[in-house]
Each structure stands twice: as C-alpha cells, then as structure tokens.
C-alpha cells in the first residue's frame, strides 16, 4: 500500500509541476499557467481539484503516444471570499487546451455539480477549440457544454474569463454566460479566424483586430470587461462575485456600510445643469449616490449612451440603469436598448433590486435605426422591465420624453416607486417640437411667426411640462430635493425588501429577441 501511495504522490507531483518547456512558452506569451490563474481566483489553499488523474482513451493520429493526466483541463471548486465557487480552466500546455471527449466529460460533470450545489461557475478559457484527432466526439462535447450553459442560465451566475484564444463553436459557450472578461493582446474570440476571412472575403485583419478584447468590449458588445493583464482581470472577477448571490434562490451578500444612509448629496445640485440641453457625466451622479462612491460598470465602453452598473446602497447590492447625457445626449438606440435589457434580466434573475436614473430625450431617430429594427430592439428593454419582479425605483433627474420615458421603468410599466427632481420635464416630446406640431397653423398665420412660436413654447412648458404636472396626476410618487436622493432610495429599497410579486403561470414568455 505504501508503494501505491508513493506512486500516486509522484503522479500528482508531475501533474502539478507540468512540463517545464511548455510552462516557459506560456510565460513567454505573457500568460499565466492554469494553476497560477486558479491561485489568483480562489482564496488561498481552498481549491479542491476533481478528476485530476483523468486521461483520454482516443487511439490513432498519434494520440495513443501522449495521454497526459487532466487531459488539458483543470476542474474543481474552492472559495472566493469564503463562498463556494466552481471553476474549470483550460491548460494550454496540454494539447493547446483543445477539447476532447474526456476533457468535455470533466467539464460536464463540474457544471452539473455547480448547478446541483447552487454555486457560481467560472470558466478560465485558453484553448484551441475542438481536438481534431477526436473528430465528432469533440464537437458533441461542446454541445453538452452549451446545453448546460442554457440550463444554468438564471439559476447560478456564470462568468467566462478569456485568457487566450477561443475560436469557432467554442465561442458560443461564453456568449451564453452572464459575463465575459477579456485580457488585451492575449485573448481573442471569433467564429472564423483571419485566415478564413482572408480566403472568403479578401479582407486582411489580425487576430486582435478581428476578435480582440477592445473589439468585443467596444464594438461588438460580446465582452463586458477588458483589462490589461490577467492579475487585474482575475481580481475584478473576484470583486464581481462579491456582488452576486450564489444562485437564484439566494440574496446578494450584504456588507456593513460605513457610508451613512442619510448622507445628503449637495454636490448633485452642481453636477446636473438645469438647462436640459447641457450635457453632464452621469457617472459622477452615481458616484455621489452609492456607498463610498464605488460601483462596477458593466459594458462600460459599449453603447455608452446608457450606463449599467452593480453597486451598493446602505450595504445592499443594487443594479443601476442610467441614461448618459454625455454620450448622444443619453438617447436610447438599438445597442443601448439591448445592453440595458440584458442587464435588467440579469438583475431580475438574481434578486438584485433595480434603480433607474432617467434623463432621456427619446429614441434615436434615423433611417438606419428604423431599418435595423429599433422597434424590435427597443421592445427588448420594455419587455425586460415589464417582466421584472425585483424591487424597482425610478428617479427622473431632468428630461423624460416620449416612449423612452415609458420604457425607462415608468410607473405605467410596473416600477414600484417613481421619484422626480424639481426640474423634471415629463412629456410626449420637447416643448419646441410639441409647439411646432400643436400650434403649427397659429405660428404660420402670425405676423411674427418666430416671436409667436417662442411665446407658445413658453406657454406649453409652463402648463404641460412644469415639474409638478406629473405628480399632480400620480405619474410620479414624489418630487424630492436632489440632495436627499440617496436617503430616499435607501428608504424605498428597505421598504421593498420583502416585495413578493409573481408572474402568470406559463412555460416562458416570447421576448422580442
């Protein structure tokens, strides 16, 4: 027995140490090894590995001569800030991290364990796709992963961390998860690589230009976060996990706040100009409102005209959706609608209350937006809010015009409370446009059309767009001092903490995807 134990210890030593040459090659690319990554993700000494001795059983095409333990993927669980988290991580040093039958079976088992245990799942992706030598068995392995990604969706948080290449069908697993992290220069995602693109279309492009971190964080919206190095990236994954519940039956972790719940926010009076046409940075408003000014912005660089962020108010996790007047005046367009809709769905799935900060002039007009389906895409955000049963509080800072006002979680689509600042303007459209439509004939017939138009605009604003018009009709619950916004939100969310809302019985809805 002692001999057997010694043999096992030797095998484990070889597995953990890896191949020196392959390790040096990994470091030369500016990349960490699989176990270095896991050490950064998990609390020290907490990781428990599963199926460390697993090997492939494929024969032919040279595979029979190379049967390394782990088969190129490390699977297991550990703790992140004391809470259980599952993870699988490709080992690029073994078969380039390519997925084969045994490799896939390990991932399938781990995903099943994560779902059963009700704990978050993190994938550290650094693989060369399907293992060609194993043929269709490798492709079937991906199918099993996709099926489990879908089954786990809205049940446990799923986070994909791209730390190397991810090409072909393999890219669909990250796309099915809740969050995608990428590292600049070393990680790429694409369905067809530069060589195929060149052969089919004649376009010349690099791997990073086609599917690098900045491309997906800013242009495609596939990546939610992009960082310069793996250490920072994995530290941010840990921070994100601290803001998420373990599963859809749990509440997000609560921390003891040091920031007073009743802290007045006098600076808000200076941050937001009264003139509705003047831009400002909504991020500064959010920083002023939330605990310690800290929040984690999701999709920071994609669809910048709307902000989505996870943060805390009085120690409780909340999700914030906010128009950004600094980008396209904060209008809603196709990308902004999709970004916000996806975030609202995430928060609703994982019991995270929603705060919506509104300063929106409408939907972006234009032939391109209409032809690309702004109606359908805008309806995604409308559907997401209408379907959400978590506590929902709307705050109208300045403008709230037209259909965009309705879509940004108004009382009419189910917000629990709507608060407004004294300078709010809730209307079908801006006063200028409204007056030109309503009083067109009077303006045209006047001796001085321009003077008449200005007077009618002034009258329209004073009668139909004054700050208390909506409150008088019950369209907002209260008009508040901007400096009291933080305390008002804390009180509202505390009252709604025991909210119990149910949707009609159904298999599922049919959202406008």
- Whether residues 279 and 184 fall in one domain: no
Mean pLDDT of the chain, nearest integer: 90
* CA–CA dist 331, 328 (Å, integer): 6
Residue 489 included in any domain: yes
In degrees and rounded to multiples of 5, residue 19 shows phi and psi of: -95, 125
- Whether residues 460 and 471 fall in one domain: no
In degrees and rounded to multiples of 5, residue 194 shows phi and psi of: -55, -35
Residue 62 included in any domain: yes
Which of 165-168's residues contact partners 24+ apart within 8 Å by CB, and which partners?
165/126, 165/127, 165/128, 165/129, 165/207, 166/125, 166/127, 166/129, 167/128, 167/129, 167/191, 167/192, 167/193, 168/129, 168/130, 168/192
- Give the pLDDT band of residue 60 (cuts 50, 70, 90): low
168 counts as catalytic: yes
- Whether residues 235 and 299 fall in one domain: no
Residue 108 included in any domain: yes
- The CATH number linked to 308 is 3.90.226.10
So what's the pLDDT on residue 275?
87
Active-site entry in 144, 154, 403, 433: 403
Q: Is the pLDDT of residue 14 over 90?
A: no
403 counts as catalytic: yes
Residue environment code for 274-302, b if the CB has 16+ CB neighbours within 10 A, otherwise e? eebeeebebbbbbbbbbbeeebbbbbbbb
Map residue 294 onto helix, strand or coil.
coil
Looking at residues 30-35, what average pLDDT do you find?
92
Residue 255 included in any domain: no
- Whether residues 363 and 335 fall in one domain: yes
- Whether residues 415 and 475 fall in one domain: yes
Residue 259 included in any domain: no
DSSP state of 99: B
Active-site entry in 135, 169, 221, 414: 169
177-181, 289-293, 426-430: the lowest-pLDDT one: 426-430
Residue 356 included in any domain: yes
- Whether residues 457 and 472 fall in one domain: no
- Whether residues 18 and 29 fall in one domain: yes
Looking at residues 53-78, what average pLDDT do you find?
74
- Who wins on pLDDT, 486 or 432? 486
So what's the pLDDT on residue 331?
97
14-23, 66-75, 108-117, 201-210: the lowest-pLDDT one: 14-23
- Give the pLDDT band of residue 354 (cuts 50, 70, 90): very high
Map residue 258 onto helix, strand or coil.
coil
So what's the pLDDT on residue 10?
59
Q: Is the pLDDT of residue 169 over 90?
A: no
Strands 48-50 and 73-80: antiparallel
Q: For the chain, how many structural domains are there in total?
A: 3
- Whether residues 90 and 173 fall in one domain: yes
- Whether residues 39 and 10 fall in one domain: yes
So what's the pLDDT on residue 21?
80
Q: Is the pLDDT of residue 3 over 70?
A: no
* CA–CA dist 302, 307 (Å, integer): 9
- Whether residues 160 and 298 fall in one domain: no
In sequence order, which residues have a C-beta less than 8 Å from that of residue 77 and are 6 or more positions away?
47, 48, 50, 84, 85, 86, 87, 110, 113, 114, 117, 119
Looking at residues 55-72, what average pLDDT do you find?
66
Active-site entry in 98, 114, 223, 404: 404
Q: Using the 3D structure, point to which of 228, 243, 258 is the last residue of a domain.
A: 243
So what's the pLDDT on residue 315?
98
Host domain of residue 446:
431-464
Residue 229 included in any domain: yes
Q: Half-sphere exposure of 228 toward its Cβ, with a 13 Å CA cutoff?
A: 0
- Whether residues 228 and 83 fall in one domain: yes
In sequence order, which residues have a C-beta less than 8 Å from that of residue 75 and are 6 or more positions away?
49, 50, 51, 87, 88, 89, 106, 107, 109, 110
Digit-coded pLDDT (tens) for 182-199? 999 999 999 888 988 899
Residue 262 included in any domain: no
404 counts as catalytic: yes
- Whether residues 153 and 208 fall in one domain: yes
Report the percentage of the chain scoring pLDDT > 70: 90
């Amino acid at each position: 027995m002692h001999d057997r134990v010694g043999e096992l210890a030797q095998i484990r030593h070889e597995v953990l140490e890896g191949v020196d040459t392959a390790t040096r090659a990994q470091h030369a690319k500016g990349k960490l090894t699989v176990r270095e990554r896991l050490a950064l993700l998990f609390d020290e000494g907490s990781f428990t590995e599963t199926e460390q001795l697993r090997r492939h059983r494929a024969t032919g095409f040279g595979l029979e001569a190379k049967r390394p333990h782990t088969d190129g993927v490390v699977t297991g669980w550990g703790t992140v800030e004391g809470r259980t988290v599952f993870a699988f991580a490709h080992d690029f040093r073994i078969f380039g991290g390519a997925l084969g039958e045994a490799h896939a079976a390990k991932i399938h088992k781990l995903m099943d364990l994560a779902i059963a245990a009700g704990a978050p799942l993190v994938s550290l992706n650094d693989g060369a796709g399907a293992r060609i030598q194993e043929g269709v068995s490798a492709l079937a392995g991906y199918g099993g992963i996709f099926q489990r990604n879908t089954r786990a969706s809205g049940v446990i948080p799923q986070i994909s961390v791209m730390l190397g290449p991810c090409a072909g069908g393999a890219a669909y697993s990250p796309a099915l998860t809740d969050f995608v992290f990428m590292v600049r220069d070393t990680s790429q995602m694409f369905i067809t690589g530069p060589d195929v693109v060149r052969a089919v279309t004649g376009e010349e492009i690099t791997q990073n230009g086609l599917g690098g971190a900045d491309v997906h964080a800013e242009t495609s919206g596939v990546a939610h976060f992009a960082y310069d190095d793996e250490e920072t990236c994995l530290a941010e994954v840990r921070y994100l996990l601290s803001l998420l519940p373990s599963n859809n039956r749990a509440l997000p972790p609560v921390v003891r706040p040091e920031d007073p719940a009743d802290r007045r926010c006098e600076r808000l009076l200076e941050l937001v100009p009264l003139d509705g046409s003047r831009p400002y940075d909504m991020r500064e408003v959010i920083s002023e409102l939330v605990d310690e000014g800290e929040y984690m912005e999701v999709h920071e660089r994609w669809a910048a005209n709307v902000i989505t962020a996870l943060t805390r108010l009085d120690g409780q996790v909340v999700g914030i959706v906010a128009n950004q007047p600094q980008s396209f005046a904060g209008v809603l367009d196709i990308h902004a609608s999709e970004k916000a809709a996806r975030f609202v769905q995430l928060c609703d799935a994982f019991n995270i209350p929603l705060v919506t900060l509104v300063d929106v002039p409408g939907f972006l007009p234009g032939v391109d937006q209409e032809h690309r389906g702004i109606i359908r895409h805008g309806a995604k955000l409308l559907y997401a809010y209408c379907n959400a049963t978590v506590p929902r509080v709307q705050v109208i800072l300045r403008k709230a015009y037209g259909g965009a006002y309705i879509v940004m979680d108004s009382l009419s689509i189910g917000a629990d409370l709507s608060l407004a600042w004294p300078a709010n303007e809730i209307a079908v459209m801006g006063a200028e446009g409204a007056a030109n439509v309503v009083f067109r004939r009077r303006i045209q017939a006047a001796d001085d059309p321009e003077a008449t138009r200005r007077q009618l605009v002034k009258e329209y604003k004073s009668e139909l767009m004054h700050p208390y018009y909506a409150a008088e009709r019950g369209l907002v619950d209260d008009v508040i001092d901007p400096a009291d916004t933080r305390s008002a939100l804390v009180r509202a969310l505390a009252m709604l903490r025991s909210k119990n809302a149910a949707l009609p019985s159904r298999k599922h809805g049919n959202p406008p995807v």
